Structure 1
């Protein structure tokens, strides 16, 4: 994550401009000029601080993680189940922060990352941060004695988040409606239920 001293003035405006440009044009047609057109900043200012659009995309991925960090900080001390649900809302296609057009752009980014080592590393860092944030919510639930103490929070976090992200990606690419809703419903009734100390189901978890 970039240090604040390395960020240009109006960093947040530039990041939201990148967000809007990605949603509008996708990754393939994205240019620094198109990003600048979504903000009050000039193309030359963006080019001064970011050598390439991939460098700007890397900063944008950090920005998304920062947004999620900020949202989670506001819910510190809240019910762990509500925090978990709110976390998953962030990765569900169709929200203001994560519209379907952004999902399409992220799918493009994944394809580019197959042959772009720097971008692949940044996307891996982004995912790892998100896994850690969700594992932290589960750990808080364990500390509050809402979730069982014998579970592997990191394994659960990866499984839950990848399930929702995978469903969202497939729903976007295939157009099959309801995939994400179905997966989330199953996560609630089977996987998340298995986290609870007072779960009436089988307490033996394959992720323990």
Structure 2
């Protein structure tokens, strides 16, 4: 996603406001205060609160995929899992923003298309990376994606732990096995 530095600063501020205070606290004034600009500038760039939310989600997805190396070439199962392990600790606000939006979509059906896009984007990125490793089992891809999503949520809410390390070790083994059987 191409973005001017000013627009990106507003998107980062949006993510921070929602991560810290929830989606219901998202206002032009809150974003402006976080970014250190006038609220008119937020309105100028995004037009409506829904456009701001949609743009911030696109920004968050792109940022998160960059953090997990989903945009980079990967060569091994270890490479695939390397970005997942500390994702929630490296990009806490981005992850919290995304989960806030996911939960809010239960109360606001107009957010569901954004949530569907979120899930489809991550599923497609996971599938593309696993396919590059020689894994083309759609059920395994879904299982791994759901496990990774759960890992990030657990890291975000409760922190890491040995259980996460064990699950990631198992995911690596599953990927290696599936790739060698392909």
TM, length-normalised to structure 1: 0.69
Structure 1: how far apart are the matches of 2:76 and 2:15? 29
Matched, 1:14 2:10: yes
Q: Which residue of 1 aligns with 2:35?
A: 39
Higher Cα Rg: structure 1 or 2?
A: 1
Shift of 1:106: 3.7
Query: Unpaired segments of 5 or more residues in structure 1?
Result: 198-202
Aligned residues: 179
Alignment RMSD: 3.1
Q: 2:106 aligns with which of 110, 114, 117?
A: 114
What is the 5 A alignment of 1:57-206?
A: 57-67=53-63, 68=65, 71-73=69-71, 75-76=72-73, 78-89=74-85, 92-95=87-90, 97=91, 99=92, 103-142=95-134, 147=135, 151-152=136-137, 154-170=138-154, 172-173=156-157, 175=158, 178=161, 179-189=163-173, 191-197=174-180
1:135–1:156 contact (8 Å) kept in structure 2 = no
TM-score by length of 2: 0.77
| Residues in 2 aligned to 1:51 and 1:155: alpha-carbon distance in whole angstroms | 41
Task: Identify which of structures 1 and 2 has the higher relative contact order when contacts are C-alpha pairs closer than 8 Å and 6+ apart.
Answer: 2
Larger fraction in helix: 2
